[in-house]
């Protein structure tokens, strides 16, 4: 470490702690799931509701708890290891535990953080404490939107970046793979713009996966495709089957299905009965539900979603979106119809 001093405007000296590149030891990327889920960092898993995201994460947990290799891997990344699962949408006694048992998981290696009466958030120190307690190789937060601080806004980068950077630091310190399961918005844009909230959610993490149905697949088959990877080339998409008769089983790979294919197929199915105005109204309700937003930022997000300015203006009237001036800038908000 080098102590560096600089001159400040008030002529005081400020000590700055720096690290020189030569002091940093290079190391190879390690994987929980090769070319899909790296260790020591954050991965986001995106998909429509009801498509099997939670079941898929339990399948990962089961394999890790038993030291089994995941698809595309010749051998397991490590011996039987522990996993942390935080799931806010499914009860453990009736859903999570029975699924783990069906998948053959070693339930003695699967843990949750008990947060009744003391709500867990993304920047809660208990996450790192639990990972260290069990030396967990995988940590799943599902869905991550349920673990936001009350002051957090997914639509503002100043909220998104610090929370995700904190989790990145936790992952790096513990070398656990942290997987954030997220819902997608109702737009028709490319996969990188389909996550709820600011595009910074996708930009802030090194690894993103998309899960869902795709054209040409059987109705009970799902695809998992890499949308983003800072550590490796995007590999082939993996397939799995999920139904009440057969349960969960891996189906091999397909190099013909991309993350955009998955998002496009699902958005068409969801949106087949809605016109462009309906989509824009939904966008406004979702985007402004957390509170006010600058007109410039909202217009930029609408443009990323493929919503024209004219359509957005018409939707603003339907959604009763009102502008006002704050510190010289236009800010938009949803108005109560009864106000």
Q: What average pLDDT score do residues 33-39 get?
A: 94
**Residue 153 predicted with pLDDT over 70:** no
Is 299 a residue whose pLDDT tops 50?
A: yes
| Residue 10 domain-assigned (yes or no) | no
Query: Would residue 58 count as lying in a domain?
Result: yes
Give the mean pLDDT of the chain: 86
From the centroid of its chain, how far is CA 270?
20
208 shares a domain with 163:
yes
Are residues 260 and 279 both part of a single domain?
no
CA dist., res. 278 & res. 257, Å (int): 29
Is 281 found in the same domain as 232?
no
Dump pLDDT digits (tens) for 155-202.
Answer: 666 677 888 899 999 999 999 999 999 987 554 444 444 444 556 678
* Domain match, 176 and 278 both: no
| Residue 50 and residue 182 in one domain | yes
Among 211, 244, 267, where does a domain finish?
267
- Domain boundary (219, 246, 267) is at 267
Q: What is the pLDDT of residues 225-280, one digit of tens each?
A: 999 999 988 888 999 999 877 789 999 999 899 988 988 887 665 554 457 788 88
| Same domain as 246, residue 294 | no
- Domain assignment present for residue 188? The answer is yes
4 in any annotated domain? no
Lowest mean pLDDT among 61-65, 186-190, 203-207, 327-331: 186-190
How many other C-beta atoms are found inside a 10 Å radius of the C-beta of residue 160?
22
Task: Please tell me whether residues 247 and 283 are part of one structural domain.
Answer: no
CATH assignment at residue 312: 1.10.10
Q: Does this model's pTM top 0.85?
A: no
Query: At which of 214, 247, 267 does a domain end?
Result: 267
Q: pLDDT value at position 267? A: 66
Q: pLDDT by residue (tens digit) across 38-73?
A: 999 999 999 888 889 999 999 999 999 999 999 999
Q: Are residues 278 and 171 in the same domain?
A: no
For residue 169, the model assigns a pLDDT of 96
SS (H, E, C) 65-130: HHCCCCCCCCCCCCCCCCEEEEECCCCHHHHHHHHHHHCCCCHHHEECCCCCCCCCCCCCHHHHHH
Residues of the chain with pLDDT > 70: what percent?
86
Predicted pLDDT of residue 135: 98
**Residues paired with 333 in a beta bridge:** 322
Strand, helix or coil at 280?
Answer: helix
The predicted structure's pLDDT at residue 101: 96
Domain that holds residue 300: 274-334
CA 320 to chain centre: 30
Question: How many structural domains is the chain composed of?
Answer: 2
Q: Where are the alpha helices (DSSP H) in 186-293?
A: 200-203, 259-271, 276-288
Would you state the pLDDT for residue 48? 86
| 171 and 38 both lie in a single domain | yes
On whether residue 208 sits in a domain, the answer given is yes
Count the alpha carbons within 13 Å of 88 in the hemisphere toward its beta carbon.
18
Q: Does some domain include residue 201?
A: yes
Whether residues 235 and 318 share a domain: the answer is: no
CA 217 to chain centre: 24
């Amino acid at each position: 470490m080098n102590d560096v001093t600089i001159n400040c405007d008030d002529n005081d000296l400020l000590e700055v702690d720096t690290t020189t590149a030569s002091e940093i030891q290079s190391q190879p990327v390690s994987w929980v799931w090769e070319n899909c889920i790296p260790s020591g960092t954050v991965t986001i898993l995106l998909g429509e509701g009801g498509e099997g995201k939670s079941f898929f994460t339990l399948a990962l947990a089961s394999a890790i708890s038993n030291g089994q290799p995941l698809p595309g891997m010749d051998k397991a990344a490590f011996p039987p290891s522990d996993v942390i699962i935080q799931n806010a949408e499914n009860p453990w006694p009736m859903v999570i535990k029975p699924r783990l048992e069906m998948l053959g998981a070693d339930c003695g290696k699967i843990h949750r953080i008990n947060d009744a009466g003391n709500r867990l958030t993304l920047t809660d120190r208990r996450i790192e404490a639990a990972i260290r307690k069990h030396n967990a190789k995988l940590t799943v937060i599902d869905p991550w939107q349920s673990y936001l601080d009350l002051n957090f806004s997914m639509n503002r980068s100043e909220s998104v970046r610090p929370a995700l950077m904190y989790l990145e630091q936790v992952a790096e310190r513990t070398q656990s793979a942290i997987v954030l399961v997220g819902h997608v918005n109702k737009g028709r844009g490319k996969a990188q713009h389909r996550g709820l909230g600011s595009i910074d959610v996708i930009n802030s993490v090194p690894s993103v996966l998309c899960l869902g149905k795709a054209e040409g697949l059987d109705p009970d088959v799902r695809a998992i495709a890499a949308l983003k990877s800072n550590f490796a080339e995007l590999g082939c998409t993996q397939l799995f089957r999920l139904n009440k008769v057969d349960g969960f089983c891996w189906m091999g790979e397909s190099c013909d299905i991309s993350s955009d294919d998955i998002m496009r197929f699902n958005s068409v199915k969801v949106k087949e009965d809605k016109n462009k105005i309906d989509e824009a109204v939904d966008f406004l309700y979702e985007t402004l539900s957390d509170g006010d937003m600058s007109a410039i930022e909202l217009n930029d997000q609408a443009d990323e979603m493929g919503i024209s300015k004219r359509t957005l203006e018409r939707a603003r009237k339907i959604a009763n979106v009102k502008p006002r001036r704050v510190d010289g800038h236009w800010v938009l908000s949803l108005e109560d119809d009864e106000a």
